[in-house]
């Protein structure tokens, strides 16, 4: 098992600017499986964790998943989740014979996640048939998130206006 970080690091630990409103927003990343293999330095294998999207502390993740952009090779399953719940957003998505446009489904027992410390949306490689892990393919991994940190109180607003 290896952890492969392919996230872009943009907004790592912070949310994008949303002025004073903390509305849900979508983040996406095109995960190229050949690039993930190169980043790891060896073939992807069972239980490898590919960190894809940075999640700042104090964030609600409403949903996450993936869409197949370029079909992958291999015969394996994946989970999508976080460090604390590795299959929160997709559980045993079968990657054998995927087609462009295929998307993961949210598990039946799904509930939005509150992330209290910085984390990542992860793709976890699961069981395979033989050694049929991917060497090619592109997935668009996405997450819908919302900042749930404290709002500024009157003291902070006065301070910021005087500065």
How many angstroms separate the CA atoms of 20 and 119, rounded?
Answer: 24
Sheet holding 59-70, edge to edge: 25-32, 138-147, 59-70, 113-115
Q: Is the dihedral of CA 67, 35, 2, 8 positive or negative?
A: negative
Cβ–Cβ < 8 Å for 30, 138: yes
In which region does residue 11 sit, left (phi positive, over 0), alpha (psi from -120 to 50) or beta (all else)?
left
- Best mean pLDDT range from 14-23, 104-113, 122-131: 104-113
Which of 6-10, 46-50, 92-96, 105-109 shows the lowest mean pLDDT across its residues? Answer: 6-10
Where does the pLDDT of residue 87 fall: very low under 50, low under 70, confident under 90, or very high at 90 and above? very high
Taking all residues of the chain, what is their mean pLDDT, rounded to a whole number?
A: 85
- Supply the pTM of this predicted model: 0.82
- Residue 135 confidence (pLDDT) above 70: yes
Q: Exposed, middle or buried, 154 (CB in 10 Å: 0-12/13-18/19+)?
A: exposed
- Residue 10 confidence (pLDDT) above 70: no
Q: Exposed, middle or buried, 119 (CB in 10 Å: 0-12/13-18/19+)?
A: buried
149 Cβ neighbours under 8 A, 6+ residues apart: 22, 57, 58
């Amino acid at each position: 098992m290896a952890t492969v970080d392919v996230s872009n690091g943009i907004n790592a630990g912070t949310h994008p600017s949303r002025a004073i409103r903390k509305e849900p927003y979508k983040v996406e990343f095109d995960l190229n499986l050949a690039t993930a293999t190169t980043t790891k330095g060896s073939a992807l294998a069972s239980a490898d964790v590919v960190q894809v999207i940075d999640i700042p502390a104090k964030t609600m993740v409403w949903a996450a998943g993936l869409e197949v952009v370029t079909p992958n090779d291999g015969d394996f399953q994946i989970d999508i989740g976080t460090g604390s719940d590795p299959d929160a957003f997709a559980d045993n998505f079968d990657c054998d014979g995927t087609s462009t446009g295929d998307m993961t489904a949210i598990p039946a027992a799904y509930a939005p996640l509150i992330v209290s410390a910085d984390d990542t949306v992860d793709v976890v490689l699961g069981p395979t048939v033989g050694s049929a892990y991917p060497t090619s393919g592109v997935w668009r991994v996405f997450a819908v998130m919302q900042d749930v940190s404290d709002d500024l109180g009157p003291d902070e607003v006065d301070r910021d206006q005087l500065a």
